[in-house]
Structure formats: structure tokens, C-alpha cells
Amino acid sequence: MRSDPITSIVQKNLCTGCGGCAGQFPDFIRMVDDPENGRRPVVAQTPEGHKAAKVALEGCAGAATDWSKLALIDDIDRMWGPVLKTWEGWAQDTEIRHRGSSGGAVTGLAAYALDTGFAAGVAHIAARTEDPRLNEAVISRDHAGLLRGAGSRYAQASPLEAIPEIKSGDAPIVFIGKPCDVASLNKAMRHDAQLAANISLTIAIFCAGAPNLNATEQLLDTLEVPKTAKVTDLRYRGNGWPGLMQARFQTPDGTETDSKGIPYGEGWGRILQAHRRWRCRVCADHTGAFADISVGDPWHAPPKGNTDAGRSLIVARTARGQAFVEAAMQGRALVAIARDRDVIARAQPNLVATGGAIWGRRVAMRALGLAAPQDTGLKLLPLWMTLPAKQKMQSVLGTWKRVLRDRLWRRVRIADRVQ
């Protein structure tokens, strides 16, 4: 039997792990945790499985997205996706602000949606109860559930596995995910009227890439968590801005204790980012162009310490998103100050450089016969042309070096072998 399209996308290193295919067809496609390759779908190798995969392909943003359907008016939009209005702010609720990764804006907006009846639930990810090293897709219907998911989770996640529960009810749901998750949901909604009807708002979280489970294990070693201990909690961000990375664990005799904590900058910069999947390194959307609202860190005004009161950068992508943010401000759920639309470039200079390098990386991949993502209507060459000559060369030669070093021409094989 020939390979199905979803398996082919995984094998070609194009899968983002969003879980949309498994969410649409849970009887024939399941997500598994591969420590090296991340959370990826496995399709039943039956005629029914292959048929499901062909339909699921319509909602897969891993291989392709269509930017031509977005309102890209000026250079700011062409760089970041639609930017109607931007703010810098934080959740009014002090606990939400403290628990959130930056200013708690995402959780604050989600709480406002529940409190006002705008939505009956919020689809997001949270640490898996029995193994906090991993994530699970959940739908929260109260503040306690939202707080369980507050704070970044720098581990593979598949929030679109919640699609069956989203579609099963007749009440609206707010969806929160990474840019790639929202892009896949956006595609799926075009082909699924029931799914589209049940999504009242989408919120994307700025993302620089998702590390794998091996990265989490290395982080736990750095936090000095004993190999014989059971991890009961793992925080990558939050409890102040940007927060400390810290675990809680239980020793064989039943004693629970906290590990040492390390600054976010050390954990991300020295450990986690090196383990981002290759698909993340050739992603053209790190700020959620297909969402109603996007939220990230305002690094242009960084905190003075590790646990300061947080602030969030909030971007309205659609009229629906702008109206919701403004309603949350009027409803005293969100404190926000308007900023210039070009603030994203100042707040996220690393993503400016990344966006410029994508064209060179993809050209290098295709020159070596590798498949690369297709983003219709997105002009990457002009962004690449703005880079200094040295960075242009690095984007191409660095990609060739990585392809050879990591043998990226090999087909990705997924093993369900979480330790």
C-alpha cells in the first residue's frame, strides 16, 4: 500500500504536530510522542486510514498555507500578517498576571470570554496530569482550568486533538494555540462548517519553535532532578516575567521537593532552542498571522529581573479580534496601552532576522532535493533581500551544513517510545 499524504508530510519533515488530522479522524489517525521528532501523527495503514488522511490534508498547514486570503495592506502586514492594532498590557486579575508567561493577556482574554458568555469553553493545552513533561489538549470551562494551562509550555503539543469535543457541542469555543496550530485550524474551518460555527475566537501565542522531549530531559538534568524521581510539575515560564524554569518532583520515598530554578534566558538560550524541530526553523509565521488575536513578549521593554510584574504585546489581526480586545479593556479584564503598529519589529528583533532568513533556507533545501513548505501569497524574497550579505550567505550555507550534519534527507520515522 502506498504512503498516505499525512504520513508523507511527516516523512518529509513538514509536519508541525498540530494534531488537526488526528482531531478530525481520531479513529484512523493518532498522535504519538517521539522523543526526537516530536509529537506526530500515525495513520492506520488501511483503506479507511488512507481515505481519512486525504481528507485531513485539506486542514494541514504543515505543507502549505495561503496568505493571499489575508488582508496584507502594507509592509508591516507583509512582514507579520494583518496588524490592525497593537497594545502593550496585562491581565487586570493579579493572579492571572502573575501566573502568565508575560502579562497574562492570553489567560485574561480567555477568562473574559467565559465570564461574559462569549464562549462556553476555551481549547488550549496544559501539562499532562500523569506526566508533566508532556502536554495534552483540554477544554476549560472555568478559571481553575485556565490557570492550569497558564504559562508557556516549551514542549510538543497538539491542541487540535480537541476538535471532536469542539464540534460535539452547540456552544462557542475560544481556541488558543501556536501560530501553526491556528493556521491549520483556519484551513480546516474552511472545509468544515460545524467546526467553523463552534469557534468564536482564535488566539495565537508568538512562537520561536517547539523543542522535543529530549530537550525537556536535558532541562531536567540541568535543574538537578534525580533520574529516580517522578516529576510532578514543570514550569518553563510564569510566576513573574519571564519567570524561572523549575520542576517539582517526588523521590522514591514519597518526599516532594522543588528543584533549583534557572532564569528563562538560560533555559531557552542554552538548552531548549537547540532542540527545536527543523520544521520550526523554516516556518514563516512565528506571530500568528491567521489568528484573530496574537500575543507575545514586549522584549523592547524587558523586565529588570526574572520575576517582575509581566507585560504582554497584544496584536489584533481581525475586526473580530480588535472588538474583543477593546471589549475586554472596557470590561476591566485587561489593562492595555495602544502602541504603533510597527512595535512588533522592535519587540521581537530575533523574529525579524528569522523571517528574513526563511527564503534562503528554503531555497537551499530545494536545491538539495528536499521538500519545503509552500506559502502562497507570501513574498519571502524581499525580506531576505533586507539582510546583510553575511546573513544572506549564512541562511543558505548554514542550511546545507545542517542538512548534511543532521542527514535531513532521510525520511522521518516515528516511534511511540516515551520513557
**For residues 329-355, average pLDDT:** 95
Give the domain ranges of the chain.
82-211+274-347, 349-405
For the stretch 354-404, pLDDT in tens is 999 999 999 999 999 999 999 999 999 999 999 999 999 999 999 999 999
- Give the whole-angstrom CA distance, residue 38 versus residue 180: 14
139 residue type, one letter: I
Asked if residue 247 lies in contact with residue 220, where contact means CB atoms within 8 angstroms, the answer is yes
52, three cell numbers: 481519512
Mean pLDDT (the chain, rounded)? 95
Peptide bond just before 242 cis, omega within 30 deg = yes
Q: How confident is the model at residue 170 (pLDDT cuts 50, 70, 90)?
A: confident
Cβ distance 128 to 418 under 8 Å?
Answer: no
The answer, yes or no, to whether residue 291 has pLDDT greater than 80, is yes
Over 90: is that where the pLDDT of 2 sits? no
Distance between CA atoms of residues 295 and 124, nearest Å = 14
pLDDT at 419 over 60: no
Residue 146 near residue 134, CB atoms below 8 Å? no
What is the SS3 assignment for 174? strand
- Per DSSP, the three-state class of 188 is helix
Chain centre to alpha carbon of residue 290: 13
Angle between helices 319-330 and 105-115 (to 10 degrees): 80
Give the torsion through C-alpha atoms of 300, 306, 310, 311, to 10 deg. 10
Q: What is the pLDDT of residue 381?
A: 95
Helix (H) or strand (E) holding 401: helix 389-406
Where does the pLDDT of residue 418 fall: very low under 50, low under 70, confident under 90, or very high at 90 and above? very low
More confident residue, 124 or 417: 124
**DSSP 8-state symbol, 95:** H
Using a cut of 0.85, tell me whether the model's pTM lies above it. yes
| Best CA proximity match to 112, nearest among 95, 98, 93 | 93
Closest CA to 317 of 151, 189, 412, 202: 202
Mean local confidence (pLDDT), 230-249: 95
Question: Rounded to whole angstroms, how far apart are CA atoms 181 and 75?
Answer: 25
The pLDDT score that the predictor gives to residue 1 is 59
Q: Under the phi-then-psi rule, with left for phi > 0, alpha for psi from -120 to 50, and beta for the rest, what region is 238?
A: left
Query: Which candidate, 108, 105, 151, 163, places its Cα nearest to that of 126?
Result: 151
